[in-house]
Amino acid sequence: MNIAIIAHDGKKAEMIQFLMDYKAILIQKEIHLVATGTTGEKAEKAGFNVQKVLSGPMGGDAQIAAKVAQGEIDLVIFFRDPLEKHPHEPDIFMLMRLCDVHNIPLATNPATAELLIRAV
């Protein structure tokens, strides 16, 4: 299973904590992580193997959206910061729309991500 992980700057620590909390499931289920650049770097520092794409503002969200459209991603966990403005919002909305178009589960907060990971 391929899971994309993305986190806005204000949510990166929360993403890493989430990954640590569910590390046993990720390892047991042999889940392959794909991440935007900075999120991926932080996940690697925490001991996870991650395939990194560009950072979100540099096109990483669009790269993950393309992987969703090509059937290469099974689940997206995107801890968004809804209180901040992001210059790459069109890419974010494209990713979310493509998850809906291709029926890919999308978690935008830890509560939903927890439900999806437990269901894996």
What is the tens place of the pLDDT at every residue in 93-110? 999 999 999 999 999 999
* pLDDT one-digit tens code per residue, 53-67: 999 999 999 999 999
Give the pLDDT score at 30.
92
Strand partners, 78: 6
Q: Residue 88: which pLDDT band, with cuts at 50, 70 and 90?
A: confident
Sorted by sequence, the CB contacts under 8 Å of residue 2 that are 6+ apart come out as 31, 32, 33, 34, 67, 72, 73, 74, 75
Give the domain extent around 6: 2-119
3-state secondary structure of 110: helix
Q: Say how far apart CA 31 and CA 49 lie, in whole Å.
A: 10
Total of domains in the chain = 1
β 2-7/32-35 pair status: parallel
Contact 44, 50 (CB under 8 A): yes
Q: Where are the beta strands (DSSP E) in the chain?
A: 2-7, 32-35, 50-52, 75-79, 106-107
**Active-site residue list:** 61
With a cut of 90, say whether residue 84 has pLDDT above it: no
The answer, yes or no, to whether residue 82 has pLDDT greater than 90, is no
Which domain CATH number covers 18? 3.40.50.1380
pTM for the full model?
0.95
